[in-house]
């Protein structure tokens, strides 16, 4: 299985860390991996149609309306 192979390869790399594996090690369904942007791009090119590589993005809080601020009146 592709993700099992990728997880095994990445676990052996110096500047990567598999943080989360959903599923079993033999049949993972998803991996969360810490790696450089360059390594992520390399994986995208290596497995263009077989692997989805997404960048981690900081969460953006939803837009707040001052009417909903703590202590404000509605």
Q: Which of 31, 38, 37, 41 lies closest to 11, judged by CA?
A: 31
What gap in Å lies between CA 16 and CA 11, rounded to an integer? 7
Answer for the pair 4, 28: CB distance below 8 angstroms, yes or no.
yes
Mean pLDDT of 45-52: 94
Q: How confident is the model at residue 7 (pLDDT cuts 50, 70, 90)?
A: very high
User: So what's the pLDDT on residue 57?
Assistant: 72
Quote the Cα angle for 35-36-40, to 5°. Answer: 80
Q: Supply the pLDDT for residue 53.
A: 93
User: What pTM does this model have?
Assistant: 0.69
Place of tokens 């594996």: 21
What pLDDT shows up at residue 34? 93
Percent of the chain whose pLDDT exceeds 90? 70
């Amino acid at each position: 299985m592709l993700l099992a192979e990728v997880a095994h390869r990445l676990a052996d790399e110096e500047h990567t860390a598999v943080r989360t594996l959903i599923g079993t090690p033999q049949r993972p369904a998803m991996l969360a991996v810490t790696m450089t942007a360059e390594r992520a791009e390399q994986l995208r090119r290596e497995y263009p149609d077989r692997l989805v590589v997404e960048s981690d993005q900081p969460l953006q809080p939803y837009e707040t309306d001052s009417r909903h601020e703590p202590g404000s009146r509605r």
